[in-house]
Amino acid sequence: MAGITRREWLGVAAGGAAAVALAAAGAGCTGLRRGGIAHQNAEFYAADGKFDQEAAKKAYYALMEHHGYPVYDNLRKNMWVADFTVGRFTDVGMGGIFWINEKEGAYLGHEIFLLPGQMIPEHWHVKTAEAAAKMEAWQVRYGGVTLFSEGAASPGAEKVIPMRELAFTTCRCMQKVAPGDLGKLEKAEAKHFMVAGPEGAIVTEYASYHDGGALRFTNPKVKL
C-alpha cells in the first residue's frame, strides 16, 4: 500500500484484530453493542431475589442517553418498571410512562422502553365494565422491535423469542418495525407481544383507554 510504512501497517492490522476479538467477546452479552452498554440479569435482583426497580430505571436512563432521547424530570418521577414477576428482567420486562390515560375521552399516550432482546410477555385486552377492549398501535422512535400477533407463522419466529418464553407464547406472526414505522393491533382481544432488537427500543403507543383489569397473560406466572 503506497504511502504507509511497515510499522504503520502492523499497527493498523493489530488494531483491527483487537476490534474483531472485542466484538467476538461481546457477542454473547445482552446489551447495546454500539453504546457499549451490556447487562446481566443478576444486576436487577437483590441477594434475596427481589427485583431492584432503581437498577432497572438506571438501565433505561442509559438506554435513553444512548439514543439521544431526553430524560425529562417528569419521566424520572413517573416512569414505572416491571419484570412481571418472571425473575428474568433481561428477557421479560419493560419500562413505561403513561403521558395520559383518559377514561372519559377513551384515549391513551404511552411510552415503552425495552432493553436489547427484552420482551413484553404475550397478552391481550378484554372488554370490561369500565371500557371496551383496548385497541392500540406502536410507533418506534429509536432502536427497533419485532411485533408478534395472531396469524400465519413467520419463518424464524421462534429464534427471536427468548428461549424460556417459547412455552408461554402462541403468536408466531412477525412484523419488524424500524424507527418511524408503525405497527398496529388488527383485532380487539387478539393476543400480541413485542421483542426489542439489539439496540433496545423506545416506542410510542397510541391507544384507547387502558384498563389494567382487562389485561390477560398467556404465562400464568406473570403478574403486575
CB distance 212 to 224 below 8 Å? yes
CB distance 39 to 59 below 8 Å? yes
Residue that is written with C-alpha cell 421462534 in the block:
158
Q: 72 has which bridge partners?
A: none
27 or 174, higher pLDDT: 174
Kindly state the average pLDDT of the residues 76-84.
Answer: 98
pLDDT of residue 28: 35
Residue that is written with C-alpha cell 404511552 in the block:
110
Kindly state the average pLDDT of the residues 22-27.
Answer: 35
C-alpha cell at 196: 426489542
pLDDT of residue 79: 98
Query: What percent of the chain has pLDDT above 70?
Result: 83
Kindly state the average pLDDT of the residues 154-176.
Answer: 97
What phi and psi, each to the nearest 5 degrees, are found at residue 12? -65, -45
Q: Could you read off the pLDDT of 34-44 as tens digits, one per residue?
A: 445 679 999 99
Q: Could you read off the pLDDT of 191-223 as tens digits, one per residue?
A: 999 999 999 999 999 999 999 999 999 999 999
Domains in the chain (CATH in brackets) are 6-217 (2.60.120.10)
User: What is the pTM for the complete model shown?
Assistant: 0.84
- Is 70 exceeded by the pLDDT of residue 16? no
